[in-house]
Structure 1
Amino acid sequence: MYKFITMLFACLMLSSYKSYSTETIAVGGKVIDETSKQPLSGATITIPDLRISVLTDQSGRFRLRNVPARGSFLIELRFVGYETLTRVMDLSKENDWQFELKPTLIETQEVVVTGTLSSGSNKRNSTTVNILNKDKLLLPSSNIIDAIAKSPGVSQVSTGPSISKPVIRGLSYNRVVTIDNGIKQEGQQWGDEHGIEIDQFKANRVEVLKGAASLIYGSDALGGVINLLEPIPVPEGEISGEFLTNYSTNNGLVGSSVMLTGNQNGFVWRGRGTYKNAYSFKTPVGYFPNSGFNETDFSGMLGLNKSWGYTHLNFSSFRNNIGFYEPAFDSEGNYVGEEGNRFFHDDFKSRTLQYPKQDIRHYKISLNNNLLIGTGNLKLNLGFQRNQRRELEDGPDPSLYFNLDTYTGDARYYIGQKNGWEPVFGFSTEIGHSENRGEEFLIPAYDTYGVGTFAYIKKNWENSTFNVGVRYDFRKNIGKPLEQDGESLFQRFSNQFSNVSGAIGFTHQFTERLNFKANAGSAFRAPNPAELGSNGEHEGTFRYEIGNPDLQPERSYQVDAELSYDGDFVNASATLYNNYIHDFIYAAHHGEFIDNLPVYQYGQVNANLYGAEASLILHPVHFIHFENTFGYTHAQNTSMNRPLPFIPAGVLRNELRYEPEIKHLQEPFLSVGMANYFAQNRVDEEFETPTAGYTLVNASVGATFFAGKQPIKFYVSANNLLNKRYYDALSRYKPGRLDQSDLNLGVYNPGRNITFGVYLPFVLKRSN
């Protein structure tokens, strides 16, 4: 920890030095309607790589102060009801710009993507990316992954409403990387019954990168990346914030969050607090005992935005308490507790969790920097995380207590654009140290070390781009031995892996509306310590797990291609992909039991996953919005010629949205939708059961009202409106095979849920 603080101090000193050595200027301009030439008041102008933004005034004018006197930067302009515009502007050549925005009925794909190596327009980025802005993240959800799992190609492994893990194109766990403020999230990715330890309300925008991304993020990014972005600092002189709260009827979930942020002469700050609480969730046939949870989160940022770039110190605290229940029944089929007593209505609606339960805590501090050096810039992200997992069986003292400390560093130097060329070089490192502090054990204490370096270059033409990159990674894992009651529970293991991966991509804009992108790449994933050395009962998963110290790294070879069309009344896209994975790792059950629990042992096979994603959005008139999306993944265990287990079912989503014009209301809407899930019969029949197809009906209504000049958004949303009984293919509560053990869950997914919500953005101070 001392070394980490020293590195933070050194970066702050470097930032202070740069602040006295960079010439600054002020630039500005005007934003108008392309057709009427009328000024647009309230349009947002953002320079993502400098983390600065400003709003246009009543005359459509804006001014950016204290920006570098030289250099080219990508600028994004956004305004509701208009196509997003992106431009690369040379600050040394122009200081009085005029931008013309084109009205549109459909959300455009011309938006900036920052989670790739080179920030740029989505149309000029060869990686397939789904982008969710604040309005979509506000839709009712129980956690951050639940909020994004409705995107094509994205789903979730769920353990009731409290726990969700992301799945991208059929891949999950350590094969999907989550990035929070530029830092790779390190916690319990390998565990079935653990979610992502991040406050769902703090993200202002989410980028879902689909496909192999080892070139950028090294090991683990076989399936894709979820890049969570907090708000860009507000304009100078402003203090603003937001308050939101919602209530859900199914499990009494109450979620509230308040945020305050400001900017005074480039000193930027932000703070947020969130609290969530829920009792047991209800299926169409009744409540499932002790499935409630509560969550308390705090996060903040302090930083400087200057002409030399920016430096931001971020910190967060996440704590989640979740109840668990191993089903037991009386003679009448009612759920009973460990003492054999039946659960009653008051028990289901109690917000006091019973034992067993788990207490998950995650603390994180990071320093994010972008320092302008000559015509280029250095992005440097340093992070420290402490993840603690406590499992409490019958009292406040944890029986299992797992502590993981992770140090990460990532440096990327961007040489700067010249004649359309954008070279980038980078280096990253990761050190992890874990301890077992309880009396029960699942995985050994371990140390892990990783280092990687890469080179990347992108070439831009008028209508096309080409990019290519190569990366080298080295990783080492050391598992520590442990004896218990005179028997060896864990044996020491030490292994190291290295890999060379690469990627190549191409985009072409046939017309202003028609766009094509393609990407090919290799990736790898080193086996994690749980896969290498686990030996014990995995609480909450109802199984006994045994690792394999001889596992080899997974290696992935993937191609994908996307064709998209952005019209005035039609927006459509289609994507095809194929991902071959050599030495795919998964835990399988082969009929063995320990203490009446099925034994799952880790092994390797070769696998092939391919599929398709598509979207079609229609706007026949300005107040009708008809959105349709489709996603399907076909996954085969090619070594044994049978399906891979736990692959999401294909899904077709349809939503009809009516947006009338009502006096004194802003953005009123009424929507009705259906989520059509196909049957999933492609399962590993040794230990997995198929699921039937089903259709869920959803609806929502909302609008923004005004109390004077203060906007207040109200909404009501209903999920599973018809209270449909169903099992999701990725639910860990779906029925197991009856011939495997006395434990057979068979718990339906949640039934009807109606959420009432309020969102209140506010401004306390704004500069003139």
Structure 2
Amino acid sequence: MKKIIITLLLGFSAVLQAQISVSGTVTNGASQPIKGVSVYIGAIQKGTKTDENGKYTLNNLPKNGLSINFTYVGFMSQNIAIKNSEAIQTIDVTLEESIFEMDEVIVSTAFNKIQSQNVMKVEHETIKDLQQKGTSTLIEGLATIPGVSQVSTGTSIGKPVIRGLSGNRVLVYSQGVRMENQQFGDEHGLGLNDAGIESVEVIKGPASLLYGSDALGGVLYFNPEKFADANTFKANLNQKLFSNTLGSNTSLGLKTSTENWKFLARGSYNTHSDYRVSGGDRVTNTRYNETDFKTAAGYSNARFSTVLRYNYNNLDLGLPEDGIGAQSSSKNTALPRQAVSNHLLSLNSIIYFTNTKLDVDLGYVTNDRSEFEDSDEASLQMKLKTFNYNAKYHLPKMGNLETILGVQGMHQTNTNFGEELLIPDATTNDFGIFGTANYEWGSSSALQAGLRFDNRKISSEVNGEVGEEGYFQAVDKSFDSFNAALGYKTDLATNFTMRLNLASGFRAPNLAELTSNGVHEGTNRYEIGNSELKTEQNFQTDLNLEYKTDHFEFFVNGFYNHIDNYIYTAPAGTIIDDNAVFNYIQSNAKLYGGEVGLHFHPHPLDWLHYETAFESVTAKKQDGDYLPLIPANNWNNTFRGEFDNKDWLTSGFATINISTTLSQDNVSGFETRSAGYTLVNLGLGGTVKFGKTVFDVNLNANNLFDKEYNAHLSRLKTDGIANIGRNVVLGINFSI
């Protein structure tokens, strides 16, 4: 570690280069200036907006391979490279009108291209758009993205599922750091609050080339809130109210920036009572309370950029045990309950050399998870501490060829403090090294390839007595894996794009799979681990076809995913302490399916949008049986009207969403089928002006007709407990 610090310090002292200043004018197709265009450089997290004459200026920029992103609602985004050879330069931009979504820069992939240039198809959604759907939690919003769903326990606990894979097969990144919070358990949620998050990017498929073990199924990459534009101060207050849970979500944020320094802070509090099912009854002890605080400070100049971020999240949540029992609107959790606190500290630094740069992410995550069964003394308490590092060196660009070499790793310890043990005390060490290259030719073709090697070492301590519940044998295992990825993008015809990606991924067995010996919370079964489990290894083929014109957009995503040594639980046919025994075993498996959809904007009805998407996943083991916890097929339809009144309302919208989930009959041996259902959701909102007072408002009615239904991935389904009934959500956001 000392050598790394010394190298970084020497790098700072060695970098001597002139700064760059860029200015220009942004106009529309009629050569009229556009006011309020976002002019942003993501690499150094610095931006500004155009004035009433469409002019902008950015000073004190590094002289190395930066790109400026120009975005404005209703226009196509542009991503333009800054010339390294000119200290003072002018970049004038003409934006073309577009009724479809803005083309965002994708951060989760190595080369940070805008999506239209990206070889890999990545879903990008802003948190603002997800919040306008009126969902109660971050994971509920994510589950509205095609190909993404959730394993849920009421409204308080949700785990992401990407194309049928979840748990340790899906990585979650926040602030550029992988979140580690015992994600192997279905009863363990994300540990993230949507306040202070700008957007989310979803990689649907193996991303082990960039992220190592556990990215076998995909990645959720959360981009933090942007800093204020240079030489500005901003503050905002957001308040949301929820009828079903009598809930409230309050968030207050402050941020300011100079030419070089930037700072922000945001605090939020989220509190909910037991959720109500269709008909009026509440599900006892599904209440929860959440406190979240985020802060960040950054500095950038012509030689380097650095950002330090910190996130504290504390969650107090009840665990439903009696189903619909004693009715209460209290927000104080009862027993049994969980208390989970997360601390996430991250440091991102970029050092700019003459023709290259070094990008370093360091992260430290602590997760303290306690469970209280029948008293205020924790019966189970686990503390997980994780240190992450990720360094990427961008080699000098050779013509149209960009190359990155990287090293990545993790040191993690798990320590138990309660009387009960879910997993043993253990240490995990990861190390990986990779290289990837991107080559572009013509105006629309690109090829991207990479290779990576990883090693994971897991060692745990022995605990308990042989033959007794709670006995964990000592484990000392090492897992190696080579992985590769190859992607190709091209325009088959005008407005018609194809992306083809081939990639492998891997996942080392987790501690629960290797060492389990007891009844896990919420499973109602006795699980026995297998220390001889092998590494899961997969190979996936992805095909994306997109056709887009001014008024019509159509896409098809198809995938085939073959997994060797897929790990799952199977009944042993025996009983221990009145619980059925399940063993961890392995078999080859295959998953296939995809998403298809269109967005239609009929002319001359310029205010009307129609969007539809269908998603499907089929997952089978080698013997032909189906895999468990696979989401049902879904067909989602949205009609959206947009309107403005220049005197008092801008960006107004009204939506009706009809989401049809088909029956899930393809179930594993110990699952039950789930009936289909249709939910209707309404939304209304916009930016309201009263004199000098301006605020955003949205009103949503989810499950409008109070439909009673059981989602297939609900952990309460086996107890006959339905999902949430009608929920009216009011959200107001004041900005100054």
- Sort the TM-score into its range (normalised by shorter chain): over 0.9
CA distance in 1, matches of 2:153, 2:414: 25
CA distance in 1, matches of 2:19, 2:692: 36
CA distance in 2, matches of 1:207, 1:602: 32
Query: What do the CA deviations read for 1:297-317 (whole angstroms, capped 9, x no partner)?
Result: 111111212112311111111
Q: Give 1:460's aligned residue.
A: 440
Is 1:753 aligned to residue 721 of structure 2?
Answer: no
Residue 8 of structure 1 deviates from its aligned partner by 9.9
Alignment of 1:456-535 (within 5 A): 456-462=436-442, 463-483=444-464, 487=468, 489-511=471-493, 513-535=495-517
Residue 9 of structure 1 deviates from its aligned partner by 7.1
- DSSP 3-state at the match of 1:197: coil
Residue 418 of structure 1 deviates from its aligned partner by 2.4
| Residues 429/50 of structure 1: CA separation in 2 closer, same or farther (3 Å cut) | same
Residue 591 of structure 1 deviates from its aligned partner by 3.9
Q: Give 1:386's aligned residue.
A: 366
Q: Give 2:529's aligned residue.
A: 547
| Residues 751/590 of structure 1: CA separation in 2 closer, same or farther (3 Å cut) | farther
Is 1:198 aligned to residue 192 of structure 2?
Answer: yes
Alignment of 1:126-165 (within 5 A): 126-139=119-132, 140-165=134-159
Is 1:729 aligned to residue 724 of structure 2?
Answer: no
Q: Are the aligned partners of 1:75 and 1:86 in contact in 2 as well (CA < 8 Å)?
A: yes
Q: Give 1:80's aligned residue.
A: 73
- DSSP 3-state at the match of 2:43: helix
Query: What do the CA deviations read for 1:407-461 (whole angstroms, capped 9, x no partner)?
Result: 1110000114221000000001111111110001111111111100001111011
Q: Give 1:321's aligned residue.
A: 316
Alignment of 1:333-412 (within 5 A): 335-336=324-325, 343-344=326-327, 348-412=328-392
Partner residue of 1:670 out of 654, 667, 692:
654
CA distance in 1, matches of 2:638, 2:629: 27
Q: Are the aligned partners of 2:64 and 2:353 in contact in 1 as well (CA < 8 Å)?
A: no
Partner residue of 1:310 out of 305, 309, 315:
305
CA distance in 1, matches of 2:3, 2:343: 18
Q: Give 1:572's aligned residue.
A: 554
Q: Are the aligned partners of 1:449 and 1:475 in contact in 2 as well (CA < 8 Å)?
A: yes
Deviates more, 1:703-712 or 1:495-504: 703-712
CA distance in 2, matches of 1:277, 1:137: 19
What letter matches 1:400 in structure 2?
A: L
Q: Give 1:626's aligned residue.
A: 610
Q: Are the aligned partners of 1:74 and 1:120 in contact in 2 as well (CA < 8 Å)?
A: no
CA distance in 2, matches of 1:427, 1:548: 31
What letter matches 2:106 in structure 1?
A: V
Q: Give 1:739's aligned residue.
A: none
What letter matches 1:38 in structure 2?
A: Q
Is 1:90 aligned to residue 83 of structure 2?
Answer: yes
Q: Give 1:264's aligned residue.
A: 258
Partner residue of 2:691 out of 702, 708, 711:
708
CA distance in 1, matches of 2:47, 2:451: 34
Query: What do the CA deviations read for 1:527-564 (whole angstroms, capped 9, x no partner)?
Result: 11111112222223333322111110000000111111
Q: Are the aligned partners of 2:460 and 2:474 in contact in 1 as well (CA < 8 Å)?
A: yes
Q: Are the aligned partners of 1:142 and 1:162 in contact in 2 as well (CA < 8 Å)?
A: no
Residue 17 of structure 1 deviates from its aligned partner by 3.6
Deviates more, 1:516-525 or 1:580-589: 580-589
Is 1:100 aligned to residue 94 of structure 2?
Answer: yes
What letter matches 1:51 in structure 2?
A: Q
Deviates more, 1:151-160 or 1:227-236: 227-236
Alignment of 1:206-285 (within 5 A): 206-285=200-279
Partner residue of 1:24 out of 19, 26, 32:
19
Alignment of 1:523-672 (within 5 A): 523-620=505-602, 621-638=605-622, 640-663=623-646, 664-672=648-656
Residue 14 of structure 1 deviates from its aligned partner by 6.0
Q: Are the aligned partners of 2:46 and 2:230 in contact in 1 as well (CA < 8 Å)?
A: no
Q: Are the aligned partners of 1:577 and 1:610 in contact in 2 as well (CA < 8 Å)?
A: yes
Q: Are the aligned partners of 2:413 and 2:427 in contact in 1 as well (CA < 8 Å)?
A: yes
Q: Are the aligned partners of 1:320 and 1:360 in contact in 2 as well (CA < 8 Å)?
A: yes
What letter matches 1:441 in structure 2?
A: L
CA distance in 2, matches of 1:12, 1:422: 23
CA distance in 2, matches of 1:654, 1:697: 10
Residue 505 of structure 1 deviates from its aligned partner by 0.4
Q: Are the aligned partners of 1:71 and 1:92 in contact in 2 as well (CA < 8 Å)?
A: no
Residue 589 of structure 1 deviates from its aligned partner by 3.0
- DSSP 3-state at the match of 1:66: strand
- DSSP 3-state at the match of 2:420: coil
| Residues 477/653 of structure 1: CA separation in 2 closer, same or farther (3 Å cut) | same
RMSD of the alignment, in Å? 1.9
- DSSP 3-state at the match of 1:417: coil
Length, aligned pairs only: 728
- DSSP 3-state at the match of 2:140: helix
- DSSP 3-state at the match of 2:430: strand
CA distance in 2, matches of 1:137, 1:517: 26
Residue 327 of structure 1 deviates from its aligned partner by 2.6
Query: What do the CA deviations read for 1:652-693 (whole angstroms, capped 9, x no partner)?
Result: 100101112324201111111100101110001x21001011
CA distance in 1, matches of 2:55, 2:4: 38
Residue 486 of structure 1 deviates from its aligned partner by 9.7
Alignment of 1:33-112 (within 5 A): 33-34=28-29, 36-68=30-62, 70-93=63-86, 95-108=89-102, 110-112=103-105
| Residues 138/383 of structure 1: CA separation in 2 closer, same or farther (3 Å cut) | same
Is 1:680 aligned to residue 675 of structure 2?
Answer: no
Is 1:691 aligned to residue 685 of structure 2?
Answer: no
Residue 27 of structure 1 deviates from its aligned partner by 0.9
| Residues 254/485 of structure 1: CA separation in 2 closer, same or farther (3 Å cut) | farther
Deviates more, 1:42-51 or 1:404-413: 42-51
Query: What do the CA deviations read for 1:327-372 (whole angstroms, capped 9, x no partner)?
Result: 37xxxxxx55xxxxxx13xxx2111111110101111111111111
Q: Give 2:427's aligned residue.
A: 447
CA distance in 1, matches of 2:726, 2:275: 10
Residue 15 of structure 1 deviates from its aligned partner by 7.7
CA distance in 2, matches of 1:671, 1:135: 15
TM-score normalised by structure 2 residue count: 0.96
Q: Are the aligned partners of 1:376 and 1:416 in contact in 2 as well (CA < 8 Å)?
A: yes
Residue 754 of structure 1 deviates from its aligned partner by 0.7
Q: Are the aligned partners of 2:17 and 2:354 in contact in 1 as well (CA < 8 Å)?
A: no
What letter matches 1:692 in structure 2?
A: A
Q: Are the aligned partners of 2:599 and 2:610 in contact in 1 as well (CA < 8 Å)?
A: yes
Residue 477 of structure 1 deviates from its aligned partner by 0.7
CA distance in 1, matches of 2:699, 2:10: 49
Q: Are the aligned partners of 2:150 and 2:160 in contact in 1 as well (CA < 8 Å)?
A: yes
How much identity, in percent, do the aligned residues show?
33
- DSSP 3-state at the match of 1:717: strand
| Residues 713/14 of structure 1: CA separation in 2 closer, same or farther (3 Å cut) | farther
CA distance in 1, matches of 2:7, 2:582: 46
Q: Are the aligned partners of 2:195 and 2:266 in contact in 1 as well (CA < 8 Å)?
A: no
Query: What do the CA deviations read for 1:93-148 (whole angstroms, capped 9, x no partner)?
Result: 4711110101122225x321111111102122222211002431323223222111
